[in-house]
Structures are given as C-alpha cells and as structure tokens.
C-alpha cells in the first residue's frame, strides 16, 4: 500500500515491534518486526488504520493509546491495543487547529496553532478535561516537554 499523503510523524516502539505513522490523511499502525528491505527502502505490513476525521499532524503514543493531533478536528484519542482494529475512545476539541501533542502522566499538552497551548487532564481518556491555556501570541505548531517545562515551536517567533 502506497502512502498517498505527506508523512508527518513516525513513531517506532521496538519493544512492541509496532509503529505509528501519521499523515495528512490518517493514523496507521504497522508491524515493524520483520522489515522487507528492497532497494534500500523498508516495507512494513500495515496491520490497522484509523482514518481520523481531520488531517493528522502529530501523535504521541502512551502504552495502548495514540493521542493524535488532528487539525481542525481537535485531538483524537485512539485505542491501539488491538493493532488490527484501532478505535477512537475520546476526543478533545478546543479553538484552533491541533498540530502537536505531548503527554506526561495524566497531563496532555497540545499545540493548537492560533489557539495556543492547551493543557488537559487525560486521567479518563474518554473524557479529557481542559486544565489550562497559554496564549502563545504566534502559531503554536509543536510542543515538547522536558521535566516540567513546555517548549513551544511558535512559527516565526521561535521557541
């Protein structure tokens, strides 16, 4: 199966031998246990696809949950415990366009483009609750968490 969209994010979990591919079209779970190397291109078997309603921009995998930043459709929480049949179990939708996501414990941080940085409690992934908001002034396109500090990729303004 050819990827028909721009590849945005690729995460590999070597312990579980699975990968998560996020494109502008969907979130794909792949088996990376036995790659087929042909002309220096690795080919993997696609085990399951969840077609998000928006345009998937970023993903954070926490155990069996894939938190997918899905553009104007918000943040989709997908259960990937059955890699053959991923299923959405919850969503978080605030003003703006979800561009990136990071999780630490039960706390979610999401870069929401013109909507700034959104902070939510995901202790119940089926019903995330917003805990806070930070106006980034520019365009929050990415977020990275180190210790207790969030770093936000903020368009032409910088970090």
| 3-class state of residue 156 by DSSP | helix
pLDDT, one tens digit per residue, over 100-129 is: 999 999 999 999 888 889 999 999 999 999
pLDDT, one tens digit per residue, over 3-48 is: 344 444 555 555 555 555 555 555 566 555 555 543 334 455 667 7
Residue 140's pLDDT is what? 85
Residues 67-78: what's their mean pLDDT? 93
Residue 28's pLDDT is what? 60
Quote the tokens at residue 38. Answer: 């042909």
Rounded to an integer, what distance in angstroms lies between the CA atom of residue 6 and that of residue 4? 7
Quote the tokens at residue 128. Answer: 């995330």
Quote the tokens at residue 65. Answer: 């949950």
Residue (of 113, 94, 119, 109) closest to 154 by Cα position: 113
Stated pTM of the model? 0.73
Residue 91's pLDDT is what? 93
Distance from chain centroid for Cα 11: 10
Rounded to an integer, what distance in angstroms lies between the CA atom of residue 153 and that of residue 129? 24
Rounded to an integer, what distance in angstroms lies between the CA atom of residue 34 and that of residue 140? 37
Residue (of 119, 84, 83) closest to 102 by Cα position: 119
């Amino acid at each position: 199966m050819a990827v028909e969209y721009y590849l945005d994010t690729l995460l590999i979990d070597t312990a579980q031998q699975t990968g998560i591919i996020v494109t502008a079209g969907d979130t794909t779970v792949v088996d990376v246990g036995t790659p087929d190397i042909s002309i220096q291109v690795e080919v993997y078997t696609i085990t399951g696809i969840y077609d998000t309603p928006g345009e998937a921009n970023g993903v954070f995998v926490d155990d069996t949950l894939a938190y997918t930043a899905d553009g104007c459709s918000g943040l989709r929480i997908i259960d990937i415990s059955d890699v053959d049949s991923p299923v959405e179990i919850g969503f978080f939708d605030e003003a703006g366009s979800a561009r990136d996501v990071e999780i630490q414990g039960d706390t979610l941080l999401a870069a929401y483009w013109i909507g700034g940085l959104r902070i939510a409690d995901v202790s119940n992934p089926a019903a995330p609750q917003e805990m806070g908001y930070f106006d980034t002034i520019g365009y929050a396109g990415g977020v990275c968490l180190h210790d207790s500090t969030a770093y936000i990729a903020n368009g032409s303004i910088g970090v």
